[in-house]
Amino acid sequence: MGPLFQPVHLKILSDAVSLSEEIISDCFGLTTDYWLKNPYEVRTLKDERKATFPKGVYAHLEKYGNNWHEKFFGTDTRCLYKVLVLDPRVLRVTRGRLSLMLPFLLYVMTHELIHMVRFSRFECAANLEDKIDEENKVHDLTEAVLSKVKMSHLDTVINFFNGKTISLSMN
Ligand SMILES: [Zn+2]
Protein backbone atom coordinates (compact mmCIF):
# COMPACT_ATOMS: atom_id res chain seq x y z
CA MET A 1 0.00 0.00 0.00
CA GLY A 2 2.89 2.39 0.70
CA PRO A 3 3.39 5.13 3.24
CA LEU A 4 0.44 7.10 4.55
CA PHE A 5 0.03 10.83 5.12
CA GLN A 6 1.95 12.25 8.05
CA PRO A 7 0.77 15.27 10.07
CA VAL A 8 2.50 17.66 7.65
CA HIS A 9 0.51 16.17 4.73
CA LEU A 10 -2.74 16.10 6.69
CA LYS A 11 -2.34 19.82 7.32
CA ILE A 12 -1.96 20.42 3.58
CA LEU A 13 -5.03 18.25 2.94
CA SER A 14 -7.01 20.30 5.41
CA ASP A 15 -5.93 23.51 3.64
CA ALA A 16 -6.89 22.02 0.28
CA VAL A 17 -10.31 21.04 1.63
CA SER A 18 -11.07 24.55 2.94
CA LEU A 19 -9.84 26.17 -0.22
CA SER A 20 -11.80 23.89 -2.54
CA GLU A 21 -14.96 24.46 -0.51
CA GLU A 22 -14.44 28.21 -0.80
CA ILE A 23 -13.81 28.07 -4.54
CA ILE A 24 -16.84 25.86 -5.14
CA SER A 25 -19.10 27.98 -2.94
CA ASP A 26 -18.18 31.01 -5.03
CA CYS A 27 -18.55 29.24 -8.30
CA PHE A 28 -21.87 27.49 -7.60
CA GLY A 29 -23.28 30.18 -5.32
CA LEU A 30 -23.49 27.88 -2.28
CA THR A 31 -24.21 29.20 1.18
CA THR A 32 -23.31 27.91 4.64
CA ASP A 33 -26.80 26.43 4.71
CA TYR A 34 -25.94 24.21 1.76
CA TRP A 35 -22.90 22.78 3.53
CA LEU A 36 -24.93 22.19 6.68
CA LYS A 37 -27.46 20.20 4.71
CA ASN A 38 -24.83 18.33 2.76
CA PRO A 39 -22.07 17.61 5.23
CA TYR A 40 -19.09 15.62 4.10
CA GLU A 41 -16.10 14.16 5.79
CA VAL A 42 -12.67 13.62 4.41
CA ARG A 43 -10.79 10.46 5.25
CA THR A 44 -7.51 8.89 4.34
CA LEU A 45 -6.53 5.23 4.22
CA LYS A 46 -5.37 5.35 7.80
CA ASP A 47 -9.05 5.20 8.75
CA GLU A 48 -10.02 2.62 6.25
CA ARG A 49 -7.95 -0.03 4.63
CA LYS A 50 -10.40 -2.07 2.67
CA ALA A 51 -11.42 -1.80 -0.96
CA THR A 52 -9.26 -1.61 -4.00
CA PHE A 53 -9.53 1.24 -6.43
CA PRO A 54 -8.94 1.53 -10.16
CA LYS A 55 -5.62 2.75 -11.44
CA GLY A 56 -5.26 6.52 -11.72
CA VAL A 57 -7.84 7.17 -8.99
CA TYR A 58 -6.69 9.40 -6.12
CA ALA A 59 -9.92 9.83 -4.21
CA HIS A 60 -13.32 8.25 -3.94
CA LEU A 61 -16.67 9.84 -3.14
CA GLU A 62 -19.30 7.92 -1.22
CA LYS A 63 -22.81 8.94 -0.35
CA TYR A 64 -24.35 7.32 2.64
CA GLY A 65 -27.59 9.12 3.30
CA ASN A 66 -30.15 8.36 5.92
CA ASN A 67 -32.69 5.76 5.07
CA TRP A 68 -35.10 6.34 2.23
CA HIS A 69 -38.12 6.30 4.56
CA GLU A 70 -36.95 9.36 6.45
CA LYS A 71 -36.10 11.06 3.22
CA PHE A 72 -39.34 10.14 1.55
CA PHE A 73 -41.41 11.58 4.37
CA GLY A 74 -39.22 14.61 4.62
CA THR A 75 -38.17 14.03 8.20
CA ASP A 76 -34.56 14.08 7.24
CA THR A 77 -33.32 15.75 4.13
CA ARG A 78 -29.66 15.46 4.89
CA CYS A 79 -27.19 13.47 2.88
CA LEU A 80 -23.84 12.49 4.19
CA TYR A 81 -20.85 12.27 1.95
CA LYS A 82 -17.42 10.90 2.45
CA VAL A 83 -14.37 11.67 0.39
CA LEU A 84 -11.72 9.03 0.80
CA VAL A 85 -8.30 10.30 -0.24
CA LEU A 86 -5.93 7.55 -1.32
CA ASP A 87 -2.92 9.06 0.36
CA PRO A 88 -0.28 6.49 -0.63
CA ARG A 89 -1.06 7.20 -4.28
CA VAL A 90 -0.93 10.96 -3.72
CA LEU A 91 2.47 10.60 -2.06
CA ARG A 92 3.70 8.44 -4.90
CA VAL A 93 2.55 10.65 -7.77
CA THR A 94 3.82 13.86 -6.15
CA ARG A 95 6.94 12.03 -4.95
CA GLY A 96 6.19 13.51 -1.58
CA ARG A 97 7.01 17.04 -2.72
CA LEU A 98 5.16 19.40 -0.47
CA SER A 99 5.07 22.17 -3.06
CA LEU A 100 3.09 19.91 -5.39
CA MET A 101 0.84 18.51 -2.75
CA LEU A 102 -1.38 21.56 -2.18
CA PRO A 103 -2.23 22.09 -5.86
CA PHE A 104 -2.64 18.33 -6.32
CA LEU A 105 -4.98 17.92 -3.36
CA LEU A 106 -6.84 21.08 -4.33
CA TYR A 107 -7.51 19.57 -7.74
CA VAL A 108 -8.62 16.24 -6.27
CA MET A 109 -10.89 17.81 -3.65
CA THR A 110 -12.42 20.26 -6.12
CA HIS A 111 -13.19 17.37 -8.46
CA GLU A 112 -14.85 15.29 -5.72
CA LEU A 113 -16.84 18.21 -4.33
CA ILE A 114 -18.14 19.05 -7.81
CA HIS A 115 -19.39 15.45 -8.05
CA MET A 116 -21.04 15.93 -4.70
CA VAL A 117 -22.70 19.23 -5.60
CA ARG A 118 -24.05 17.73 -8.82
CA PHE A 119 -25.41 14.72 -6.97
CA SER A 120 -27.04 16.87 -4.33
CA ARG A 121 -28.66 19.13 -6.90
CA PHE A 122 -29.84 16.22 -9.01
CA GLU A 123 -27.87 17.49 -11.94
CA CYS A 124 -26.93 13.91 -12.48
CA ALA A 125 -28.76 10.70 -11.66
CA ALA A 126 -27.85 8.75 -8.55
CA ASN A 127 -27.38 5.65 -10.62
CA LEU A 128 -25.40 7.06 -13.40
CA GLU A 129 -26.41 5.73 -16.75
CA ASP A 130 -23.30 7.05 -18.28
CA LYS A 131 -20.50 7.37 -15.80
CA ILE A 132 -17.94 8.33 -18.38
CA ASP A 133 -20.07 11.21 -19.55
CA GLU A 134 -20.49 12.49 -15.98
CA GLU A 135 -16.79 12.03 -15.34
CA ASN A 136 -15.98 14.14 -18.40
CA LYS A 137 -18.36 16.88 -17.31
CA VAL A 138 -16.85 17.00 -13.84
CA HIS A 139 -13.38 16.97 -15.31
CA ASP A 140 -14.17 19.97 -17.54
CA LEU A 141 -15.83 21.86 -14.69
CA THR A 142 -12.86 21.23 -12.40
CA GLU A 143 -10.49 22.62 -14.96
CA ALA A 144 -12.71 25.63 -15.66
CA VAL A 145 -13.05 26.45 -11.97
CA LEU A 146 -9.36 26.02 -11.18
CA SER A 147 -8.07 27.85 -14.23
CA LYS A 148 -9.09 31.07 -12.45
CA VAL A 149 -7.10 30.22 -9.34
CA LYS A 150 -3.56 31.47 -8.98
CA MET A 151 -1.33 28.95 -7.24
CA SER A 152 2.12 27.77 -8.09
CA HIS A 153 2.29 24.38 -9.84
CA LEU A 154 -1.48 24.26 -10.27
CA ASP A 155 -0.98 24.44 -14.05
CA THR A 156 1.35 21.42 -13.81
CA VAL A 157 -1.36 19.50 -11.99
CA ILE A 158 -4.07 20.53 -14.49
CA ASN A 159 -1.85 19.37 -17.36
CA PHE A 160 -1.28 16.10 -15.59
CA PHE A 161 -4.99 15.42 -15.20
CA ASN A 162 -5.56 16.42 -18.81
CA GLY A 163 -3.13 13.77 -19.90
CA LYS A 164 -0.83 16.41 -21.35
CA THR A 165 2.01 15.18 -19.19
CA ILE A 166 2.41 11.71 -17.77
CA SER A 167 4.24 12.76 -14.67
CA LEU A 168 4.29 15.74 -12.38
CA SER A 169 7.55 17.46 -13.02
CA MET A 170 8.41 20.85 -11.68
CA ASN A 171 10.37 23.04 -14.01
ZN1 LIG B 1 -14.67 11.83 -10.83
Mean pLDDT of successive 10-residue stretches along the chain, which has 171 residues: 93 98 95 90 85 87 66 60 94 95 98 91 65 89 96 96 82 56
Give me ligand 1 centre to Cα 56, in Å: 11
Q: What is the pLDDT of residue 124?
A: 65
Report CA(75)–ligand 1 centroid distance (Å).
30
Per the structure, the count of domains in the chain is: 1
Q: Look at residue 110 and tell me if it is in a domain.
A: yes
Sign, CA torsion 48/53/58/61 = negative
Determine, yes or no, domain membership for 140. Answer: yes
Write down the pLDDT at residue 72: 54
Instruction: Report the CATH number at residue 118.
Output: 3.40.390
Residues near 148 by beta carbon (within 8 Å), at least 6 away in sequence:
none
pLDDT at 66: 58
Residue 99 lies in a domain: yes
Is 122 inside any structural domain?
yes
* Distance from the alpha carbon of residue 74 to the mean position of ligand 1, in angstroms: 29
Distance 108 CA to ligand 1 centre (A): 9
Predicted local distance difference test score (pLDDT) of residue 119 = 83
Residue 169 falls inside a structural domain: no
**pLDDT computed for residue 36 by the predictor:** 87
Residue 36 sits in which domain range? Answer: 7-161
What pLDDT, on a 0 to 100 scale, did the predictor assign at position 149?
A: 96
User: CB neighbours (10 Å) of residue 119?
Assistant: 19
Ligand 1 center–CA 139 separation, angstroms: 7
Whole-number pLDDT of residue 76: 57
135 close to 109: Cβ distance less than 8 angstroms: no
Q: Are 94 and 106 in contact (CB under 8 A)?
A: no
Domain assignment present for 102? yes
d(CA 166, CA 163): 6
Rg (CA), the chain: 16
CA of 58 to the centre of ligand 1 (A): 10
Q: Is residue 130 part of a domain?
A: yes
Is 170 part of a structural domain of the chain? no
